[in-house]
Amino acid sequence: MLINLSLVIYGLAMCFVLFYSFAQANLLWHFFKFKDSKMPMASLDDKGLPKVTVQLPVFNEKYVVERLIEAIASMHYPKEKLEIQVLDDSTDETVDIIKSCLKSFPEVNFKYIHRADRQGFKAGALKEGLEVAEGELIAIFDADFVPDPYFLLKTVGHFKDEKVGMVQSRWGHLNEDYSLFTRLQAFALDAHFMVEQMGRNAQKAFINFNGTGGIWRKSCILDAGDWHADTLTEDLDLSYRAQQKGWDFIYRPDVVSPAELPPVMSAIKSQQFRWTKGGAECARKHLGHVLKGSFPLKVKIHATAHLLNSTLFIAILLVSLSSIPVWWGFYQGLIPLEYFKLAAFFLFGFVIIASVYFFANLNLSHFTIRSFLRFLWELPVFLAVSMGLSVHNAQAVWEGLTGKKSPFVRTPKYNLSGKGRNWVSNTYNQLKIPPTAYLEAILAIVFSVMVAVSLYTGTYEMLVFHSMLAIGFSLVSISSFKSYLIHP
């Protein structure tokens, strides 16, 4: 009975992965149709340029906030039409750093807004800033970003179309070569920003504002109900509310907004938890309305895959755990070998997913031999680490789907654009070891034993899969303990 139940769970989870991969295949197809599209750019000589407010939400960012302010101050846009709000919720020396830095730019229209009460966290800060914002357009950048000086000129032209509510740029990476984990994050984000965002936008499916590196029409934000703090991903939430109200979104892959990637597993996990749980919360909040709405079928399908994509981690965890009794069933002859051959059909889904990452990453590097060789090791390592994160992220998704609330935990910023600087001295490092880290270590041992048993018994059907799980859980658990325990 246990083997049969495990086989059913294994099959259903793999079917979900296959459904997701088919949606990805459709996005990849539209990516090829959209990737060479030409985009407009405004000119400083244009007398009709709209007034813009740039919002900079900040909370205890002493390592990066000065760099952010300097970058924003150098933006190319008429000074009389540019307002910059520093929305500061800081409780440490960041406050003094900001005030000192702003004195260096008396010619720039900076507005400093400090909140003693972090009600609503980032969403609350953006909402309060919006109430006094002078611009008809609202650009938003997080503290770890270094925006393109021409960002506004490259994006404001789209708002001549009164239906356009938001324009999103592509994230770049300031420190992608800092470590293995920053490289793997860049690998994953490039697939989202190249294939997923472009593929959805090309067929007018719902896309999302990514929380930063985008510019909104103020009236769109207000029409959609303003910022809400009832999910951990206020950006995705507002995106779906606005597009359900009929606003059009534009994605600009040619406009790059460089940002810093978290270099340490504790910071990566805090970011992943917020993204995956927030995505599940938005699925709970919006998916039913989208499916009941009068949207085209393709929009509903892609919204389902989009809002439920974090549920992949639950599927991966279920496949991983159920694979052990399934392996035992094959070994004991309790499951016919034909079942295993049938399961090979599911590999088609992984081929599609691999293709998404292949074309996204190599397109950015212009298909060089070096990038191809790098892809050959990055893909399996990325998949292994993603499997290793399945326990942590599955917990986040489950909490999001079941409505369990948790506070907004910000991701520490480090300002590590070069390899010479160390993350250890960062005072914002999180030092409390979560229970999932111990479970990851246990699973690393379990799947390492499974690999050894498979080699000993000569049953190789799941050897590759279990090897990737052993490597993934080992990498995640070791780096987790290292990041939580090593500090000054």
**Residue 417 pLDDT:** 62
Reply yes or no on whether 142 is catalytic. Answer: no
| Percent residues over pLDDT 70 in the chain | 95
What is the per-residue DSSP string for 413-475?
-----STTS-STT-TT---PPPHHHHHHHHHHHHHHHHHHHHHHHT--TTHHHHHHHHHHHHH
Nearest-angstrom CA–CA distance, 167 and 141: 13
pLDDT at 43 over 70: no
Mean pLDDT, rounded, for 360-388: 94
Could you count the other beta carbons within 10 Å of the beta carbon of residue 351?
Answer: 10
pLDDT tens digits, 67-96:
999 999 999 999 999 999 999 999 999 999
Marked catalytic residue, from 142, 148, 190, 235 = 235
The amino acid sitting at 345 is: F
Marked catalytic residue, from 89, 142, 148, 190 = 89
Nearest-angstrom CA–CA distance, 173 and 186: 7
pLDDT band for position 409 (cuts 50, 70, 90): confident
Reply yes or no on whether 235 is catalytic. Answer: yes
**Residue 428 pLDDT:** 76
Picking from 164, 144, 148, the residue whose alpha carbon sits closest to that of residue 68 is 144
**pTM for the whole thing?**
0.94
212: left (phi over 0), alpha (psi -120 to 50) or beta: beta
- Top pLDDT among 49 and 429 is at 49
- The overall average pLDDT reported for the chain is 92
pLDDT at 322 over 80: yes
